[in-house]
Structure 1
Amino acid sequence: MGAGTARAASELHASMVWKPSADELPKLNRPEMLRYLGYTGQQLGPDLAARIDEAAELAVADARPAGVLRTFGVDATGVDANGTPCIHLVDSGIELRGRDIFRHLKDAVGCAVLCCTLGMGTERRMRALSASDPLAATLYDAACSAYVEDAVDALEARIRSVGSAHGLSTNWRFSCGYGDCPLDSQPSLLDALNAARLLGVTPTPSSLLVPCKSVTALIGLFDGPASDADTRPSCAICRQSNACPFRSRGLVCYG
């Protein structure tokens, strides 16, 4: 880990828990919420528009955005149990398998690992609405999906700011499940972040996250320009592309 990366790692580690104050809370991206609902410009009746507004307001009221992040050195010289090149994050116990994550981090001098969640308040509300009002549950789910992405954006901006202050560039955030990077790496990410204690985020046996409106991600730190800084995720690396509800409507799930 270079001097700039070491200083950035120290600063990010020192401020590893992110709990925004009331005036720092992210704003819910309403167009993003509508995109999750499959909105493509069709006319919204006043009753439905009012229910969408209600779901958005309820999601923001219930959510308690919080996050945790740490930086680690990157070792791209090892192989996995099958002899395939993989990424190890130094002193973390994290092994990242798959061609896509290898390309994403192989030239990085460090990696910022983050977890962000809306908390159990949204989880409880979702369960209650699912049992009593399916439409309200659908609208609320879309609002929460948009809002957790807004929270991750805020945490990512912090990483970029600290990295830039120390002369480091960053690439886009990559999550387990993208491309051929398996979800089963998620428990090791949570362990390295101590996310269960700090955020209350735990993995299920299938490596999904609880609360469900939680996200883990990895961002490379580079001495000099990041080779894929502007290359966002695409349908070409997604394992769900053949059954994607966004693509069936001529949309994508990113950007």
Structure 2
Amino acid sequence: MPIFNGFLQKIDIAETKRYAGLRTSENFSDKIVADACMAAQAIAKPRGIFQQCCYDSDSCQLLCEEPFTIEGSKIREHLKNSEIAIIMAVTIGGDIEKEVNTLFSKKEYSKGLMLDAAATTATEMIADQLNHYIDEMAAKHGYETTWRYSPGYGDWPLTQQMNLIKAVHADQIDIHLTSGCMLVPQKSITAIIGMARSVVESGIPSGCRNCSMHNTCSSRKE
């Protein structure tokens, strides 16, 4: 499985504010946010891994080492034109979670909240980097790609995290699962990207617009 080593040159301050739910709040100074971003950049250990598999759109099976059926109508619709699927996983490691917990234990809640938000931003940035690399790789071979789709989006059951981390061998970058199918370290992402000779828009909205909590989440993207 190809390993991807991302690089965090700078963590996006605006995105960090969004993940912290600070669209309108003025309780956090710009310095607190900037310091959190710098701390996250210093602590994070970004790594990624990905695996290419054939995809049978008729049976909705991902034909990896241990084939499994994709569950959920929205993700099936999303992949319906794909011949190949790329499974990807990224993480920034567990050290940053330990630091967040330390800050909360010291009752430094503002710093802990902002560091956690900066860590989420960093994780998404590494996922974007790997996503871009996959897009470029696909284009060189005459394929177009779908946007990445993760378990828990739409009606894709979170339980299929288990299938994805096995297929991509996420343990090679120290990503594991809890009994409730949550990723460890928490600042990790798994996703699937479809590849097709000609991508036809499915009409399914991407990202936050596809989430059942879109109307209530303070961290959503507009």
- Inter-partner Cα distance in structure 2 for 1:180 and 1:144: 26
Any idea what the Cα deviations from partners look like across 1:65-122, whole Å, max 9, x if unmatched? 10000111111222xxxxxxxx211134333200110001121011111000001211
Check the 8 A contact 1:126/1:141 in 2, yes or no: yes
Over 3 Å counting, the alpha-carbon distance change for 1:127 and 1:95 in structure 2 is farther
Q: TM-score, normalised by structure 2?
A: 0.90
Q: In structure 2, give the amino acid aligned to 1:170.
A: T
Instruction: Quote the offset at 1:228 in angstroms.
Output: 4.2
- Inter-partner Cα distance in structure 1 for 2:94 and 2:141: 36
Determine which structure has greater relative contact order: mean sequence separation of CA pairs < 8 Å that are 6+ residues apart, divided by chain length: 2
Over 3 Å counting, the alpha-carbon distance change for 1:204 and 1:177 in structure 2 is same
Check the 8 A contact 2:77/2:202 in 1, yes or no: no
State the superposition RMSD in angstroms. 2.1
Q: TM-score, normalised by structure 1?
A: 0.79
Q: Secondary structure at the match of 2:85?
A: strand
Unpaired stretches in structure 1, ≥5 consecutive residues: 1-12, 79-86, 247-251
- Inter-partner Cα distance in structure 2 for 1:174 and 1:148: 15
Over 3 Å counting, the alpha-carbon distance change for 1:205 and 1:69 in structure 2 is same
Percent identical pairs in the alignment equals 26
Q: In structure 1, give the amino acid aligned to 2:115.
A: Y
Over 3 Å counting, the alpha-carbon distance change for 1:241 and 1:230 in structure 2 is closer
Question: Structure 1 or 2: larger helix share?
Answer: 1
Q: How does 1:177-192 map to 2 (within 5 A)?
A: 177-192=152-167
- Range moving further from structure 2, 25-34 or 175-184: 25-34
> Size of the alignment, in residue pairs?
220
Q: Secondary structure at the match of 2:201?
A: coil
- Inter-partner Cα distance in structure 1 for 2:131 and 2:92: 16
2:94 aligned residue (86, 98, 120)? 120
Q: Which residue of structure 2 aligns with residue 53 of structure 1?
A: 34
Over 3 Å counting, the alpha-carbon distance change for 1:225 and 1:238 in structure 2 is closer
Q: How does 1:153-168 map to 2 (within 5 A)?
A: 153-168=128-143
Unpaired stretches in structure 2, ≥5 consecutive residues: none
Q: Which residue of structure 2 aligns with residue 217 of structure 1?
A: 191
